Structure 1
Amino acid sequence: MEIIINVIDQNDNNPEFTKDPFLGSVAESSPINFEFMKVTAIDKDEPGSLNADIRYKLLTQDPEKPNANMFFVNPMSGAIQMNSDGLCREKIPKYTLVIQAADMEGRGLINTATAIITVTDINDNAPEFVQSSYTASVPENKADALVVKMAMTDGDEPHTPAWSTKYSIIEGNDGGFFSVSTGPSQLEGIITTVKGLDFEKTSQYTLLVTVENDAPFTTRLPTSTATVIVNVEDENEAPVFNPVEKVVTVPENRRVGADLIAYTATDPDTVKNQKVWYKAGNDPARWLSVNKKTGLIKVRSPMDRESLFVRGDRYQALILAIDNDDIPATGTGTLVIQLEDVNDYAPIIEERTIKICNKESQPVTLSVTDKDGPGFGAPFRAELQGESANNWTIRMNGTKTGIILTPKSSLEQNDYNVVLRVYDNRGLAQDNTVHATVCDCKGNDVQCTNRVVAGVGLPGNIITSLHLNGSFVFWG
């Protein structure tokens, strides 16, 4: 026969916690009944029996602040939840609980474990200025100048968004002259100038600055403010020309001593009531004189539109305005003289020497130029002067910018001076001499192989000379 023996369970196993300690966290200011962690235990006795039926109980809380019953343990599930409000990380950052587990519905064998609860931070502390007011001084006309550094305090956990700060200027910065930023420590507001301040316009600014955290407040908190009074320090500023570049148009033949223009500057330092005097700075051609007291500019020496110092008919000179402060400041202005052309240059022939064959001579084109502008240049015309007309003929090319020179007949090989009077389109003329060497050759193949002595051509002979007793002897 089969005999079945049932072993009846005896309560011989204590409950065992699954870990020890249990670690958990809860945000400060968490509400009552908020469940945030759980402890668990097991029992090796018969499952489902009374021997394995576990109940949980909170034995101790350390510290017992702000009261001894801050937490509650659900006896059935082991869940830990808030039993009271008043958690504050800044005062008590951690709690240690001793939890009991007992079988037989809490009346049998027992065991204990520790639950360590960390109180996490929320942004429940507003940042505050160490000082409620600041006074600073800043020199005028200086951008990116440090105005003030404002220290802060914040009771939240360091180096978290609930602790780091950001700033705003809510009053007194209508012109956008200032900016505020967070310093490297994250608990410091730094005000700097965005652009230069003008003492003569505003000598003092009053700024109202607020601070808040990078993380939003979790409860309604008062906003801390500070007042910053910024005094602008007066600096000696250079006189200012208006306009910075002044253009005057005059003919290039304006007489020496004639007035050009009065070019003056104003001193921004109205409070100091300083005097300004003037002088020429960079006047490359030294054409100008400047009245020290009035800034009146006159012609000092003859001006020339065709000068190397003129670019595109414009001559530039730097004018200086200097105040009489102990440390003088100098302002600069540019005077641009637009020179109107006058017919002060006669045309010239570029080629001063030419060579030509005496047989079947080919015409030579002479280039004519004029330093004046187009209104006083081409079309040109020319006339042969004196004996030059006996041996040569001329005519203008199609553009009337060149002279075509041709021998009248076959000339002896020799050197000739051809004098031409050249006129511009307004009739201004001057005589030009072209040195023409006539060689014994033909057409365009210009070759001058024979020597010329005393202005006389000796074709076919090589002339040699010897100096004897103060006289020259020639033979060939």
Structure 2
Amino acid sequence: MVFRSGYDPGGRHLLLFVIILAAWEAGRGQLHYSVPEEAKHGTFVGRIAQDLGLELAELVPRLFRVVRKFRGDLLEVNLQNGILFVNSRIDREELCGRSAECSIHLEVIVDRPLQVFHVDVEVKDINDNPPLFPATQKNLIIAESRPIDSRFPLEGASDADIGENALLSYRLSPNEYFSLDVPTSNQQVKPLGLVLRKPLDREETPELHLLLTATDGGKPELTGTVQLLVTVLDVNDNAPVFDRTLYTVKLPENVSVGTLVINPNASDLDEGLNGDIIYSFSSDVSPDIKSKFHMDPVSGAITVIGHMDFEESRAHKIPVEAVDKGFPPLAGHCTVLVEVMDVNDNAPQLTLTSLSLPISEDAQPGTVITLISVFDQDFGVNGQVTCSLTPHVPFKLVSTFKNYYSLVLDSALDRESVSAYELVVTARDGGSPSLWATASVSVEVADVNDNAPTFAQPEYTVFVKENNPPGCHIFTVSAKDADAQENALVSYSLVERRVGDRALSSYVSVHAESGKVYALQPLDHEELELLQFQVSARDAGVPPLSSNVTLQVFVLDENDNAPALLAPRVGGTGGAVSELVPRSVGTGHVVAKVRAVDADSGYNAWLSYELQPAASSARIPFRVGLYTGEISTTRVLDEADSPRHRLLVLVKDHGEPALTATATVLVSLVESSQAPKASSRALAGAVGPEAALVDVNVYLIIAICAVSSLLVLTLLLYTALRCSAPPIEGAGPAGKPTLVCSSAVGSWSYSQQRRQRACSGEEAPKTDLMAFSPSLPPDLGSVDVGEQQGLNVAHGLKVSPFKFRTYKFYLWKL
């Protein structure tokens, strides 16, 4: 900051101090102003917006408002210039009575963010009330025998103002008989009185007219007068006299009707009627005293007949007189001062303002929910109020100013745990027994998108028969979102990827709303055994949250491929195989072999060979192996056997229904001289390219036996471990292994030409080894796609391309 030359540094420091002091005062949230009573409409009170540190332009956008109690139209704020002004006539006496302090409390509230300021406007008294006497005329009856210095009490004037404006002085009109006895400030209980300075003489002066004037201390002064009419009586020399001039009694405000207050005692030295006393309240007693107390005229006992309220009046001054029955009657006077003691008979009052609801579940601790003000009409400890909140809630009460509290957030919220709170604020005073009041606050927690959709399982295994119709429903995914409304609205989509050289979306699709997964085209087990992909569930929150689930779709084989014959070693007409067999061969000699493969798997690829009976009735000396396809002699050949034999071999798989193929083998019987040729030819066939083919059926049987033995050993070991180990979380009921549905088909054969590909990775083609129990009924092999949900009992088990199956429908992963 740069100052020009000649600038007073001291003044700069003073200005800086004033600015800091003003900012500190505004930060405390309390302002004090003063205004005289009876001020005209529009009278300036203070620049409230400037003093509170608020910009004029933000008063309307921030909803600047003033909350007032009781009379709310006395003061107003101009939102254009931020000035607090007098709106209507302020009468201090009407507003606060004779209270020494009188102020109007304003509560200023602005939003965005929420701020609360407290403003006290002191109403200053002006001298606008003259002194008033209870009556315009006071009659005094005084016997002429009354001695000098006799005192006669008078009811003083009252002034509704306070302070100097209510400080009264009295003067009596000039006369020779009476002087005015005015009590000092420390003798306020002693009443104003006339003092006889000269003996009265009824015959000389039967009546006196005096004027008593009361003047207050205001500027300008105001006065009030009362006419005193003194009637001089004769004879009765002694007036009744009380044993005390002042009686003080303390009564609780809840005293019951009929309670004895006091029994003042007066005596009269006279005899007869002149000594008989009648008690009564003074004639100028207020109607309020008459409504609350009664005095027995004979005994003088004062009893309670009305309700007394400490909050209405804390003391009652009762002027009492005792009048004898003489002629003229004489009176004695005393004062009974009844002090009302406060009782805790007013419960606290709670007021809730500026509710900021609902509250977001991500709101920060310290966020203000609502403002609470409490008020108790009792006095002292009975009016001291403390507030408490329902326990075990993430909120707390913070005292801001006197009996003002803020309900604020104390800890983090979670709508998914608790969506709404019913809070009870209890205000309890310090009385004994204490009184209390409660107020209920319903706090609704607004949702925030803080929960992603979740699936019941991270992975699902689905089985679908190949050759399914396009667009068939194969599975339904479902995700739950713990949030509410839009934040819990879940939509589904595929996580796109490549399956070989094609897009995943060309195989399957998912309905965005229902989560139903559809196969868009017929699936081919021989082309695709496993289709693994992910479905994403995404909510509609901002920002949206999502999660994925993995689906493993296994394509089950159907018998849709007939056996295929391998190419013959020696070409012949019509696809037939020609073989030359010497007649000298013995029984069991293999003369030929039919080779076939099936592109299916399991039962559908398990091939058997049958020799169809010949059309002629001659017995054929050949047979074919049921599972090997080898054609061998059944006996020694002789000359009677036909030189040429046409054999028809039927190759059949075990599918339902079974598919077949036929092979024709032409066998020619030759003499021994032709044997070398046939032998060499057979040998050539043996060492030719096709000799390299392994007899897969023989090896397959050997492998099955080995794996079956390994399976039995594994099951025994598994059973022993299950009996000794505790149940594993996630296992099926009663500790049973999780099962996976399998195809209803299978075989012991090996498909050499079948290419097996898995969508889950770039795995090399592998072979399938399968074992079946043919005892199960064949109709169980029909698996409806619509029943897929019920068949998926393989919770969490993955099927690898190398599979070992037991029984017709179940598979364990080894």
Q: Give the TM-score normalised by structure 1.
A: 0.36
Q: For CA contacts below 8 A with separation 6 or more, give which structure has more relative contact order.
A: 1
Q: Give the TM-score normalised by structure 2.
A: 0.23
Could you say which structure has the larger radius of gyration?
A: 2
Structure having the larger proportion of residues in helix: 2
Structure having the larger proportion of residues in strand: 1
